[in-house]
Amino acid sequence: MEIINAIILGIIQGLTEFLPVSSSGHLEIAKAILGENKVGQESLLMTVVLHFATALSTIIIFRKDLVEIFSGLFQFKNNESFQFSLKIVLSMIPAALVGVFFNDEIEALFGGALTLVGGMLIITGLLLLLADKAKPSAKQVGVKDAILIGISQAIAILPGISRSGATISTAVLLGIDKEKAARFSFLMVVPLIFGKMAKDILSGEVSTTDTNFLALFIGFIFAFLTGMIACKWMIKLVKSSQLKYFAYYCFAIGGIVIVTSLL
């Protein structure tokens, strides 16, 4: 893989993992533009590396929250930390079940089906518009809320549906405080990212043969740095009700992708 392609994919992954515009959808678009042959056999390895970069940026930004989650899980006391940790675990279950039982069907969707990506981006835009109009609230995430947000995360496995957009929008529409919705959305994905990475590595499909490790490293750095910026930026945007601008972006890109794929 060429270094310039690694930089492009790193920036796309870092920004779109947190901004509500679908990282999977944009990576599919980028691969189509760059040419699958330019991404090559290193595609899966690069995907693992880029996801690790964005997971690491999440861990650093939310390190205090993650310490609270782990301490809550291992203390086994029915306190606020334990309840929050339990909700994070519950939210992971739907996506984990979809990943285990429908893995082949999901993988089949990531084959350059740009019409699907465009359609899902438009759906993401609609969700963001609805969430942006939600009234301010101080509600905490409840058990039922965690499960429903988890279901939205499972649906967001589809390329073009933004994971952060779907989960934050669902939480806000359920009446959750916007800042808490963003915090919960980013924390709930960390275990799933590491689980997916472990699955890809253990599958034996990740190959390091003829790998350009410099390109991998540069892609990692760009994904990590842009991820740090995007994560902090996204929290501010959710709080200030500015998701509508991303909705317009999703409408525009989704429409362009659909039109060009049909030509």
Structure-model confidence comparison of residues 32 and 38, the more confident one: 32
Structure-model confidence comparison of residues 163 and 151, the more confident one: 151
CA distance 174 to 148: 9
The burial class, CB within 10 Å (0-12 / 13-18 / 19+), for 71 is: middle
DSSP state of 137: -
Structure-model confidence comparison of residues 118 and 67, the more confident one: 118
Question: What is the model's pTM?
Answer: 0.80
Domain housing 214: 3-262
105 pLDDT above the threshold of 60: yes
CA distance 177 to 238: 10
- For the segment 5-18, the average pLDDT, to the nearest whole number, is 85
CA distance 22 to 159: 7
Residue 176's SS3 state is: strand
User: Length of the chain, please?
Assistant: 263
40 pLDDT above the threshold of 60: no
240 pLDDT above the threshold of 50: yes
Contacts of 252 (CB under 8 A, 6+ apart): none
CB neighbour burial string for 32-56, b if at least 16 within 10 angstroms, e if fewer? bebeeeebbebeebbbbbbbbbbbb
CA distance 58 to 224: 9
Structure-model confidence comparison of residues 116 and 126, the more confident one: 126
Total domains, the chain: 1
Query: Which amino acid makes up residue 19?
Result: L
pLDDT tens digits, one per residue of 184-222: 888 888 887 887 777 777 776 666 666 778 888 999 999
- For the segment 144-156, the average pLDDT, to the nearest whole number, is 92
Split at pLDDT 50, 70, 90, the class of 38 is very low
149 pLDDT above the threshold of 50: yes
39 pLDDT above the threshold of 50: no
- For the segment 49-54, the average pLDDT, to the nearest whole number, is 87
Closest CA to 224 of 91, 31, 50, 33: 50
Rg (CA), the chain: 18
Split at pLDDT 50, 70, 90, the class of 157 is confident
